[in-house]
Amino acid sequence: MGSSRHTAALGEKLDVDPEKLNQPMMAFAIAEEISKIKADQRSTNQGKRSAVLAKNEHVRIVLAVLAKGEALQEHGTQGQITVAVVQGAIRFDALNERVRLTAGALLTLRPGIRHSVEALEESALVITVCAATRTPAS
């Protein structure tokens, strides 16, 4: 399963050919992608790393690997998100609630809701961020 993997800290701008992230069909071996990110973590001594798997005007899909105790500080997104836990366990905080999610869990969150994530153990997540919906002018 070929993929173009682009590793960066979450939120970091990437200097990548957008076409590589926007193919008509893309498949990923998530376990292999996680191994590559972990290898990058070991070589750079950084805890929080991610790979942008796909990105276009409609959606951005990111694979994030977090070390135990690593957190994504409170933030919001303009579009709907999903968070699928692939490995480990995380705490997801939003709407004055704390949700513990383990491997196999999927969470969805509406646009604009501030949230944060903390890895309760070494964890891997697939995060999908949809583009903000545009309301037609009246």
Q: Quick check: is 138 in a domain?
A: no
User: pLDDT tens digits, residue range 2-53?
Assistant: 443 444 445 444 455 778 899 999 999 999 999 999 888 777 766 558 999 9
Please tell me the total count of domains within the chain. Answer: 1
Tokens of 20: 């590589």
Can you tell me whether residue 37 is helix, strand or coil? helix
Can you tell me the mean pLDDT for 60-72? Answer: 94
Distances (CA, A) of 127 to 14, 106, 138: 17, 10, 33
Q: Please state the rounded mean pLDDT for residues 110-131.
A: 97
Whether residue 77 lies inside any domain: the answer is yes
The answer to whether residue 35 is domain-embedded is yes
% of the chain with per-residue pLDDT over 70: 83
Does any domain span residue 136? no
Q: Is 42 a member of any domain? A: yes
**What DSSP character marks residue 20?**
G
User: Could you tell me if residue 11 is inside a domain?
Assistant: yes
* pLDDT recorded at residue 39: 86
CATH of the domain at 108: 2.60.120.10
pLDDT at 99: 98
Read off φ and ψ for residue 15, nearest 5 degrees. Answer: -95, 80
Task: Please give the angle made by the CA atoms of 36, 41 and 44, to the nearest 5 degrees.
Answer: 125
36-44 long-range contacts (CB < 8 A, ≥24 apart) are: 36/5, 36/7, 37/7, 37/63, 37/65, 37/124, 38/65, 40/7, 41/65, 41/67
Look up residue 17 and give its two tokens.
Answer: 């050919």
* Domain carrying residue 68: 6-130
Q: Residue 74: inside a domain, yes or no?
A: yes
Tokens of 74: 């409170």
Residue-level pLDDT at 47: 56
